[in-house]
Amino acid sequence: MTTEKSMMEQLYNQSIKILQEGQIIKGKIVSIKSKEVLVDVGFKSEGIVSIAEFSKKDLEVGNELDFFIDCIEDEAGMIGLSREKAIRIQGWDKIVQNSKEGNLVEGRPIKKVKGGFLIDVMGIEGFLPASLSAFRGVLDKNIINKVFKFKIIKINNLRHSIILSHREAMQKEREEAKEKVWQGLLVGGIYSGTVKAITDFGAFVDLGGVDGLLYITDMSWSKIAHPSEIVALGDKIDVVVLNLDRDSGKISLGLKQRFPDPWQDIETKYSAGSKVKGKVVNILPYGVFVELEKGIEGLIHVSEISWTKRITNPNELFAIQDTVEVQVLSIDKESRKISLSLKQLEQNPWLEAESKYLSGTKAQGKVRGFTAYGVFVELDSNLEGMIHISDISWTKRIAHPQDVLKKGQKVEVVVLSVDAANRRIGLGLKQLQPNPWPEIAVKYPLDTVIETEVVNVTDFGVFVKIDEDLEGLVYTSEIDKERIAQLKPGDKLKVKVIKVDVEQAKIGLSAKT
């Protein structure tokens, strides 16, 4: 009997695990009460663990979990176990084995404390300083118990503590995302992106972590004034990678490169001499740009607008979106230029100008404009001629042509010359009257003394009125300086004729009588 009892005790003792305090062992939940959980760890007694140490998913009869042995036998004869300590120790071991300073880990903020947050990482309580949280302005309810990525800043093995940074984790994630994007980019590849900023010179496109620049010149085959004509903030667009510079971090993008270059087969579409229709897209002082098709524009230079009119402001004749018919003059594929003409569609009136306007004949016209040296007159054929200031009057000194003629005034003129090659017609107004200078030379022979009226005092002499339509010049060498200083328009001045130049239509006078 004694022998049998000894054998039973021996078998029982062998069946009981050899346990030590501080050890982590497997245990099975055998009973769940309101505040306690009974756990079988294969020892002579079962362990009791507070129900607060279990998560909802673990709290189920039959579940096998890891537990930390606090003590082999407590006052009630039960083995002391802890689920939280097991999790914490295993979490720490996992951190030490699998992580190091600089690594990213997932964690949950569990409590806001002075100076930051307590973070649950694998059951280990880490500390997130407020300065590294990147949670400024975010409500606590949107933070507590939510999963975030954190960067391990410091691991303290002695204290089993870790310092974390959410801000640096975000930065590291962005860098890793950028690196992933960079590795996936290829020159010539097409990628989706979002327009995040627009400038005068282009648009910045987010390719999913890295930004590329889409220059205005690479947006459209057509000329555009501003990138906003093509894209808007937030637009989702597909772009072509034109160039990658990893060292500078610059990515050049293209939008128009996704479509065929309309200039590629330009010679088959248009030829010199052909007539085409287009839409006015831009008006500048030197000409008008006409869009022949999407991406193809030509220029009507101001000199090709009219045979007869001087065009100084094309805006007076054209408006944006006007449809015009033009003739193609030339095509420069390399420079992407097409020269267009409006006037070539009309008969050139200059071809008949020399036969129509013979030198010495009279013509009718209308004053169209002025320059400092003359007057522009539109003739009845729409051709324009010019009256030089010296051909306005035989005897009057004309300072400003508009003092004699007015814009829109109808005038009769004499044709002096026609240069069809250079498109010039010389006109005269004074030639309508006989040249009075031969008679003037007779009327005012040398040494004739005349009573005159001062008209103007200049640095080179004094202009005086001899007769109603006749002026002469008193040279500065022919009058005392003191006297010149005293003269003013309207003063009477006695002079003597010292020169009469019939060819130059001038009378030279002297006040030294």
- Strand segments, DSSP code E, in 16-114 are 24-32, 36-40, 47-50, 64-71, 79-82, 104-113
- Residue % of the chain over a pLDDT of 90: 27
- The model's pLDDT over 270-316, given as tens digits with 9 standing for 90+, comes to 999 899 999 999 999 999 999 998 889 999 999 899 887 778 889 98
pLDDT at 15 over 60: no
Pairing of strands 362-371, 337-341: unpaired
Contact call for residues 270 and 328 (beta carbons, < 8 A):
yes
204: pLDDT confidence band, cut at 50, 70 and 90? very high
Q: How far is CA 179 from CA 99, 175, 227, in A?
A: 21, 6, 29
Structural domains of the chain, ranges and CATH numbers in brackets? 17-87 (2.40.50.140), 99-172 (2.40.50.140), 185-258 (2.40.50.140), 266-345 (2.40.50.140), 349-432 (2.40.50.140), 437-510 (2.40.50.140)
d(CA 379, CA 425): 10
More confident residue, 216 or 482: 216
Q: Which of 126, 74, 73, 71 is nearest to 103 (CA)?
A: 126
Residue with more model confidence, 104 or 452 = 452
Element (H, E) at 149: strand 148-156
- Helix residue spans in 68-127 (DSSP H): 83-98
Rounded to an integer, the average pLDDT of 195-220 is 91
Between 141 and 498, the higher pLDDT residue: 498
Residue 261 to residues 201, 231, 271, 333, Cα–Cα distance (Å) = 21, 20, 18, 12
Tokens of 240: 């072509």
Instruction: Report the mean per-residue pLDDT for the chain.
Output: 84
Half-sphere exposure of 168 (CA within 13 A, CB side): 18
Residue 11 has pLDDT above 50, yes or no: no
Cβ contact 69:23 at 8 Å: yes
Burial of 504 (0-12, 13-18, 19+ CB in 10 A): exposed
pLDDT for 309-340, tens place per residue?
A: 778 889 988 999 999 999 999 999 888 899 99
pLDDT at 350: 79
- Torsions phi, psi for 357 (to 5 deg): -115, 90
Bridge partners for 202 per DSSP? 215
Q: DSSP state, 42?
A: S
Say which amino acid occupies 74: D
Q: Span 240-264, mean pLDDT?
A: 89
pLDDT at 111: 85
Residue 93 pLDDT > 70, yes or no? Answer: no
Distance of CA 258 to the CA centre of its chain: 21
- SS3 of 342-392: the string is CHHHCCCHHHCHHHHCCCCCEEEEEEEEEECCEEEEEECCCCEEEEEHHHC
Sign of CA dihedral 420, 424, 430, 436: negative
On the question of pLDDT at 513 being above 70, the answer is no
Best CA proximity match to 380, nearest among 368, 365, 391: 365
Whether the CB-CB separation of 378 and 342 falls below 8 Å is answered with no
The yes-or-no verdict on residue 95 having pLDDT over 80 is no
Give the span between the Cα atoms of 301 and 316, in whole angstroms. 15
| pLDDT tens by residue, 123-158 | 677 888 888 887 877 777 778 888 888 888 877 766
Calpha distance 254→243 (Å, rounded): 9
Looking at residue 98, its pLDDT comes to: 59
Distance CA 398, CA 389 (A): 7
What does the pLDDT read at residue 215? 94
Would the pTM count as exceeding 0.85? Answer: no
Cα–Cα distance between 317 and 307 in angstroms, integer?
Answer: 14
- Please write the tens of the pLDDT for every residue from 416-448: 999 888 888 999 998 998 988 898 889 999 999
pLDDT at 12: 44
Portion of the chain with pLDDT greater than 70, in percent: 92
Dist. CA 310–CA 9, nearest whole Å:
127
